[in-house]
């Protein structure tokens, strides 16, 4: 079983923030799989689905971003899911809006959710789907930018970007990380593979 974690902050006031992009991708995967209503357990919203013929546990930590690793560690421990079968999707300042970067290992890159996961899981060997939101204009605080909503222009492109990230996760589950990296890394939304949907 794979554990797919989308990072974000709980609460209606945060739901459309750039920082909640991970939640949106998990919601898209649940919708594609026609998954059941998520249930609350271990400080997370959980939903078990089938993606590309594989069992997948979708997880949205319901504790705030900077402690999200605690809930993920509890979930992974209970279901005995190793870091190698964990996929984390999150927003990424260092990528232009609309681009993805897939990989595994490495540091947190300043992302507090990833920082918490590294601390609480005790491993960096999980797969990551970094979804570009771009950097704020010069002089604007990065935290303020991430906790603000997408621009009107970005909103128009957001469904395609969320879909692209969901495609990438399905590719990791179905084909493995190296193949998914070759398919998705750095490519714009227009190059997505529509045949990869469930």
Told to judge if 19 belongs to the known catalytic residues of this protein, a careful annotator would answer yes
* Residue whose C-alpha is closest to residue 60's, from 42, 44, 47: 44
Cβ atoms 177, 127 nearer than 8 A:
yes
Each as own residue / partner, the long-range contacts of residues 105-110 (CB below 8 Å, 24 or more positions apart, any chain) are none
* Whole-angstrom distance, CA of residue 164 vs CA of residue 170: 10
**Token pair for residue 193?**
């593979």
**Token pair for residue 43?**
């400080």
Q: Pick the catalytic residue from 19, 90, 108, 111.
A: 19
Length of the chain in terms of residues written: 198
Residue 54's contacts (CB-CB under 8 Å, 6 or more residues apart) are 1, 2, 173, 174
Four-residue CA torsion sign, 49, 54, 57, 59: negative
Catalytic residue numbers read: 19
């Amino acid at each position: 079983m794979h554990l797919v974690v989308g990072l974000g902050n709980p609460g209606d006031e945060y739901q459309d923030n750039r920082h909640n992009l991970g939640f949106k991708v998990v919601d898209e995967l649940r919708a594609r799989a026609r998954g059941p209503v998520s249930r609350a357990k271990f400080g997370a919203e959980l939903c078990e689905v089938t993606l590309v013929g594989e069992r997948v546990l979708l997880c949205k930590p319901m504790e705030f971003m900077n402690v999200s690793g605690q809930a993920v560690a509890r979930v992974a421990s209970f279901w005995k899911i190793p870091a190698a079968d964990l996929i984390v999707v999150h927003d990424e300042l260092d990528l232009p809006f609309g681009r993805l970067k897939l990989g595994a290992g490495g540091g947190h890159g300043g992302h507090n959710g990833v920082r918490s996961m590294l601390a609480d899981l005790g491993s960096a060997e999980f797969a990551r789907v970094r979804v570009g939101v771009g950097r704020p204009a010069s002089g604007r605080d990065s935290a303020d930018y991430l906790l603000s909503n997408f621009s009107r222009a970005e909103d128009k492109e957001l469904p395609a970007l969320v879909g692209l990230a969901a495609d990438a996760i399905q590719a990791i589950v179905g084909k493995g990380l190296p193949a998914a990296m070759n398919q998705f890394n750095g490519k714009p939304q227009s190059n997505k593979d529509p045949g990869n949907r469930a």
